[in-house]
Structure 1
Amino acid sequence: PDHDELILRLNKDLLRSVEEPEAPPNPSVHLALRLSAHHNLAMENQHLTRLKTQLHQNLQSLAAGQAVTGQLALYVLALRSSCHDLTSLTLSDGDAPEHLLSHLKRQLEREKEHIASRRPLTTYYQYSLGMLALCVGGVRVSAHVSHKLIHAVNHGLIKHGDSAPIDSYAMAALALQCLKEAGTSVRNEEDLEKSLTNIKQKLLDSQRADGHLGNQFSTGLVLQVIGGGELRCSAPMEALRSDARRGRYHSPMALSQTLPALQQRTYLHLRGGDCRNEDSLVLDDEPVVEVLADLSPVPVQVEVLKADGSAVEYRFEVPSGSTLLEVLKLLQDHQMGFFETENSLWGKFL
């Protein structure tokens, strides 16, 4: 009964995340906001502008030295979700500037060539995401490129260690389903059907006792694939709702992969050019919750093992409730260069 109320709350949480001044603009967040039934067009347009400036500049600087298939694909999907003209923006990696979709197509060709050494330049997740972005953008995906993914699915080549990465299989299914719906020619139609059947069975077999498919962070993506009229009352959907109520999806990236599934929307809806313009979402002032600080100190002992095998031990006290990052910053005062952080779409990585 509280399904719609939960969706509205999560939608507002996701919208508030784009106001964070230090957070880099996230195309996955923009996608989820645009796929939603509730909109704040002014804030969404501001975020789109940040994507076209900050993220675009970042992709431009990275494109010359490394594969950016996944980020570029998400960027293309985010632009598509706002019905932006994809031919109006270009990227250059040292050669002449080319349209985003042309650049992405060339990235996928490089990924395909690298699969000869048993894996893409990046990952099969990013490879599939690139195929999906091209398909949604109305660009024909080469039969050679699609064949590599179909072959990898049907021969169990998509692996993370000894396990099957469920989110990678879910993204592969979305890419291949898009090709099927678009009528894109592939090398072998039977192999395409076989790969979709294999993936869906693998996804269904991944259901845990608590209802999640794969794990709590892959469930939203998997639900985009398996669909079905009874989805709203299914065990995986209830698991998603339960974790959302408990605040498990506090990261904007995790929330962006949860919200579409709760509304039974998928990235494939972008093929129809459905740009929703109902301006109905208003952010309320968040209630101010006064938290009485516990100032009692907590003793911390840290041992640092150096490359030469020697060890240095540090003992100090931190206020109760300190985060790991805050503790490490205090330690940084004792030893410069002890750690670094790096921004990503999932937040800071140590």
Structure 2
Amino acid sequence: MHIGYGTRSFCLTMSICRVIVFQFLITIGHSTEKCHFSEIERPLVNSLLNTLLRSVKDGDSTDPDPTAFLALRLANQHNLKGERRFQQRLIEAAVRKVKEELNRQPLTDYYQLTLAILALCIEKQPVSTYVVEELIVRIMDYEAPFITFFSVDTASMSVLALSCLHGSPFNTISRLKIERPIVRLLQGLLAAKQKDGTIGTIYSTGLAVQALIANQQLDFMVFHCSTHLERLISEIPKGTFDSMERISHVVPALEGHTYLDVQSLDCTSDQDNLPQENEG
């Protein structure tokens, strides 16, 4: 379909307006809905945390999932001994994987790419400008997996990665250039909302909620966090979240956190207060 000059001009103007609104609201902020599950549901959330801890039992040969450790650290209740064991297993797995990289191809899909960007940004490490710009071009040109087969998980992780870069003093790309793809992806996530509270599918909802929490201050978003959290909570007794990755995406969202909050964790204030499942 041919798009006339007037239409193109209007679209460009609207895009610029959205970016200006984004930058203005990032600066001043405004009150938003508190995103957190009801404490009445705490036992359900704790059951997910205990499932993550069981994944690193002594003798388990499966490598621990790094995002599972992040979920444990972002929770409001902790089993400090179990988390230390988890951390040690992660260190051991990391050393082993570095030695194996010599013999296999690294993962290059966009979900893994944006997860790597997020990890580097959180650790205040330099991120390749070329890699970030390639990601932005793909998003802005509506290339897969961001439009043709819109992946909610990849879009959500991209939002988190770009949001981290947006606030990073180590970022060398202009904030304006980062804001446009963030807005576009957020619009895609909002379009993927279902009436039952899921975003995409129930399995992608946790990560999508994290991306939306990280940008709650934007007025163009109609985001009622409690609706999505209630949907997630309702699925826990059904055993829906049956893998480490799925649980790891859900727990931070339920606690009102995102992976970006790892940067501001105060480990000295942690209490050893996670009830164990065998305590009745």
Task: Identify the match of residue 184 of structure 2 among 193, 198, 201.
Answer: 198
Contact 2:136 2:181 in 1 (8 A): yes
Q: Which residue of 2 aligns with 1:39?
A: 78
Contact 2:48 2:251 in 1 (8 A): yes
CA shift in 2, pair 1:59/1:161, >3 Å: farther
SS of the counterpart of 1:212?
Answer: coil
Percent identical across equivalent pairs? 31
Task: Identify the match of residue 19 of structure 1 among 39, 54, 57.
Answer: 57
Q: Which residue of 2 aligns with 1:8?
A: 46
Deviations 1:234-288 (A, max 9, x none): 322221111123221122221111111100111101223533532112413277x
SS of the counterpart of 2:126?
Answer: coil
State the one-letter code of the partner of 1:46: R
Structure 2 alignment gaps of length 5 or more:
1-37
Deviations 1:24-57 (A, max 9, x none): 3222211111111111111111121111113421
Equivalent-residue separation in structure 2 for 1:221 and 1:277 (angstroms) = 24
SS of the counterpart of 2:270?
Answer: coil
CA shift in 2, pair 1:209/1:255, >3 Å: same
Task: Identify the match of residue 67 of structure 2 among 6, 10, 28.
Answer: 28
Q: Which residue of 1 aligns with 2:106?
A: 67
CA shift in 2, pair 1:277/1:150, >3 Å: same
RMSD of Structure 2 on Structure 1 (CA): 2.5
Equivalent-residue separation in structure 2 for 1:268 and 1:286 (angstroms) = 33
State the one-letter code of the partner of 2:257: R
Matches within 5 A, 1:144-159: 144-159=130-145
Contact 2:53 2:86 in 1 (8 A): no
Equivalent-residue separation in structure 2 for 1:186 and 1:157 (angstroms) = 24
Contact 2:126 2:170 in 1 (8 A): yes
Structure 1 alignment gaps of length 5 or more:
69-121, 288-350
Contact 1:146 1:186 in 2 (8 A): no
* Structure (1/2) with the larger strand percentage: 1
- Which consecutive aligned stretches of 4+ in structure 1 deviate over 3 angstroms post-superposition? 183-189, 228-233
Structure 1 residue 124, shift from structure 2 partner: 1.0
Task: Identify the match of residue 58 of structure 1 among 69, 72, 97.
Answer: 97
SS of the counterpart of 2:76?
Answer: coil
Structure 1 residue 17, shift from structure 2 partner: 2.7
Deviations 1:157-178 (A, max 9, x none): 2328941111001111101100
State the one-letter code of the partner of 2:70: L
Equivalent-residue separation in structure 1 for 2:102 and 2:262 (angstroms) = 25
Count of residues in correspondence between the two structures: 234
State the one-letter code of the partner of 1:18: V
State the one-letter code of the partner of 1:242: S
Equivalent-residue separation in structure 1 for 2:147 and 2:236 (angstroms) = 29
Task: Identify the match of residue 222 of structure 1 among 205, 208, 211.
Answer: 208
Instruction: Calculate the TM-score normalised by the size of structure 1.
Output: 0.61
Contact 1:125 1:167 in 2 (8 A): yes
1:183 aligns with 2:169: yes
Q: Which residue of 1 aligns with 2:12?
A: none
Matches within 5 A, 1:60-99: 60-68=99-107
Task: Identify the match of residue 277 of structure 1 among 266, 270, 273.
Answer: 270
Instruction: Calculate the TM-score normalised by the size of structure 2.
Output: 0.75
Structure 1 residue 153, shift from structure 2 partner: 1.1
Higher RCO, Cα 8 Å, sep 6+: 2
